[in-house]
């Protein structure tokens, strides 16, 4: 057994003269929700497809649930769940029929009632898939991804096209899952809401990783007041010093930290 659901060292993949992944290292702990961020063409999709066993690699070592995905058999595939960005299905089937159908491929699937409860679709049990809203359809996608009790769940841009309410409902669904999750998303607030750890890649390499609230320089605050400005990792101490110096309230005082979006754009080299 290992404490890591995913361990990658020196991963490389090229398409003719284009280097998609260039010596990438990645560790994902068991039970962790990891967000993988990066601009289009950064190598996210290629990396995830290699981890899923759907694409070959040119170099490096990869272990997913203790198995090299390039040699993963049917028993290993039953341990992972995949929720793609877009899916095609039989819209005339009901939610229950679709879940039961997929469940047959696994040796110890979740029960229908448990699966519906986890994704909040109890009231849509007998609804035809084509009649579901976008948010409900995405919940069904997750239901199909978790019905086999995966130890690792891949979520690819899960809330693209959602309205704000549907996105937050989906986040609640993901938080309720008791499994390791690898999430790719372009929504920085989604990564901040869901992820225990964030990995940012650009040019096929990891450029930063850490908890969302400390990634990059997010632990450095800017304290501004009428007569000055100071950056610090201990804003409380600076405010206390200023308060003592002014003998009371500090005029024009504000304390701000960079947003995850600010840090992300800096990391991938986008001017703000």
Average pLDDT along the chain, 272 residues, taken 10 residues at a time = 87 94 96 93 93 96 96 93 74 93 93 90 94 85 90 88 79 86 91 93 92 80 92 92 94 89 81 56
Question: Pseudo-torsion of CA 209, 214, 218, 224, nearest 10°?
Answer: -170
Is residue 213 a part of any domain in this protein?
no
Is residue 175 a part of any domain in this protein?
no
CA torsion sign for 258, 263, 265, 269 is positive
* Report field, pTM of the whole predicted structure over 0.75: yes
pLDDT at 60: 97
pLDDT at 169: 80
Strands 228-232 and 221-225: antiparallel
Is residue 137 a part of any domain in this protein?
no
Is residue 48 a part of any domain in this protein?
no
Strands 228-232 and 59-64: unpaired
Domain range spanning residue 231?
Answer: 221-256
pLDDT at 1: 45
Residue pair 182/28 in contact by the 8 Å Cβ criterion:
yes
pLDDT at 88: 64
The number of domains in the chain is 1
pLDDT at 170: 81
Is residue 232 a part of any domain in this protein?
yes
Strands 205-210 and 221-225: unpaired
The first and second tokens of residue 255, run together, are 């304390």
Is residue 234 a part of any domain in this protein?
yes
User: What are the residues facing 36 on neighbouring strands?
Assistant: 184, 199
C-alpha separations of 158 from 9, 104, 155, 190, 271 in Å: 27, 24, 6, 10, 27
Is residue 187 a part of any domain in this protein?
no
Is residue 83 a part of any domain in this protein?
no
């Amino acid at each position: 057994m290992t404490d890591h659901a995913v361990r990658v060292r020196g991963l490389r993949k090229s398409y003719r003269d284009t280097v998609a992944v260039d010596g990438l290292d990645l560790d994902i702990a068991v039970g962790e929700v990891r967000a993988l961020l990066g601009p289009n063409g950064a190598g996210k999709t290629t990396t995830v497809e290699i981890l899923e066993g759907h694409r070959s690699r040119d170099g490096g070592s990869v272990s997913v649930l203790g198995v090299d995905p390039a040699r993963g058999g049917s028993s290993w595939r039953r341990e992972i769940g995949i929720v793609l960005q877009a899916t095609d299905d039989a819209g005339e089937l009901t939610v229950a029929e679709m879940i039961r159908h997929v469940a047959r491929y696994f040796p110890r699937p979740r029960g229908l009632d448990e699966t519906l409860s986890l994704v909040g679709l109890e009231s849509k049990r007998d609804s035809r898939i084509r009649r579901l809203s976008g948010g409900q359809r995405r919940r069904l996608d997750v239901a199909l991804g978790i019905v086999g009790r995966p130890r690792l769940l891949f979520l690819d841009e899960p809330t693209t096209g959602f309205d704000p309410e549907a996105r937050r409902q989906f986040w609640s669904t993901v938080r309720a899952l008791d499994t390791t999750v690898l999430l790719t998303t372009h929504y920085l607030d989604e990564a901040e809401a869901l992820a225990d750890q964030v990995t940012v890649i650009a040019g096929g390499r990891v450029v930063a990783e850490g908890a969302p609230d400390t990634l990059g320089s997010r632990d450095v605050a800017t304290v501004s007041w009428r007569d000055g400005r100071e950056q610090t990792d201990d804003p409380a101490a600076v405010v206390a010093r200023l308060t003592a110096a002014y003998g009371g309230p500090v005029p024009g005082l504000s304390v701000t930290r960079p947003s995850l979006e600010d840090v992300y754009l800096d990391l991938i080299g986008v001017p703000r």
